[in-house]
Structure 1
Amino acid sequence: MSGHGFHVHGPHDHELEHATNGGHGHSESSGDHEHSGGMSSTSKIAMCTAVIATFGAIFAYMGGATQANAGIYKNNAAIKKTEASNQWNYFQSKSTKQALAEFARDTATDDARKQGWQAKVTRYEQEKTEIQTEAKKLEAEASKWDAQSDEQMHQHHRWAQATTVLQVSIALAAIALLTKNKWLERAMFGVAVAGLAVGGLAAVHV
Structure 2
Amino acid sequence: MSGHGFHVHGPHDHELEHAASGAHHGPASEGKSGHSGMTSQIAVCTAIIATVGAIFSYMGGATQANAGLYKNNAAIKKTEASNQWNYYQSKSTKQSLAEFARDTSSDDRKQAWQDKAARYEREKAEIQSAAQKLEGEAEDWDRKSEAQMHEHHRWAQATTILQVSISLAAIALLTRRKWLERGMFGVAAAGLVVGLLAALHI
TM superposition score category, shorter chain reference: 0.7 to 0.9
Q: Which amino acid aligns with 1:81?
A: K
Q: Which one of 45, 62, 86 corresponds to residue 42 of structure 2? A: 45
- 1:119 corresponding residue in structure 2: 115
Confirm whether residue 103 of structure 1 aligns to residue 94 of structure 2. Answer: no
Aligned residue pairs: how many? 179
Percent identity between matched residues is 71
- 2:139 corresponding residue in structure 1: 143
Tell me, in whole angstroms, the C-alpha distance in 2 between the residues paired with 1:31 and 1:144. 66
Deviations 1:169-191, CA, capped at 9 Å, x for gaps: 00000000000111111110000
Q: Which amino acid aligns with 2:106?
A: T
Q: Which amino acid aligns with 1:104?
A: A
Tell me, in whole angstroms, the C-alpha distance in 1 between the residues paired with 2:175 and 2:106. 102
Q: Which amino acid aligns with 1:203?
A: A
Q: Which one of 31, 54, 64 corresponds to residue 57 of structure 1? A: 54
Tell me, in whole angstroms, the C-alpha distance in 1 between the residues paired with 2:111 and 2:178. 94
The structure with the largest alpha-carbon Rg is 2
Deviations 1:56-103, CA, capped at 9 Å, x for gaps: 000000000000000000000000000000000000000000001001
How many angstroms does 1:31 deviate by? 3.9
How many angstroms does 1:42 deviate by? 1.3
How many angstroms does 1:108 deviate by? 1.5
Tell me, in whole angstroms, the C-alpha distance in 1 between the residues paired with 2:30 and 2:164. 32
- 1:203 corresponding residue in structure 2: 199
- 1:153 corresponding residue in structure 2: 149
How many angstroms does 1:28 deviate by? 5.9
Q: Which runs of 4+ in 1 moved over 3 A?
A: 27-35
Q: Which amino acid aligns with 1:108?
A: S
How many angstroms does 1:40 deviate by? 1.2
Task: Map 1:185-200 onto structure 2 (within 5 A).
Answer: 185-200=181-196
Q: TM-score when scaled to structure 1?
A: 0.83
Q: Which one of 78, 81, 88 corresponds to residue 81 of structure 1? A: 78
Q: Which amino acid aligns with 2:123?
A: E
Q: Which amino acid aligns with 1:46?
A: A
Q: TM-score when scaled to structure 2?
A: 0.84
Tell me, in whole angstroms, the C-alpha distance in 2 between the residues paired with 1:60 and 1:137. 36
Q: Which amino acid aligns with 2:187?
A: V
Q: Which amino acid aligns with 1:192?
A: A
How many angstroms does 1:41 deviate by? 1.4
- 1:180 corresponding residue in structure 2: 176
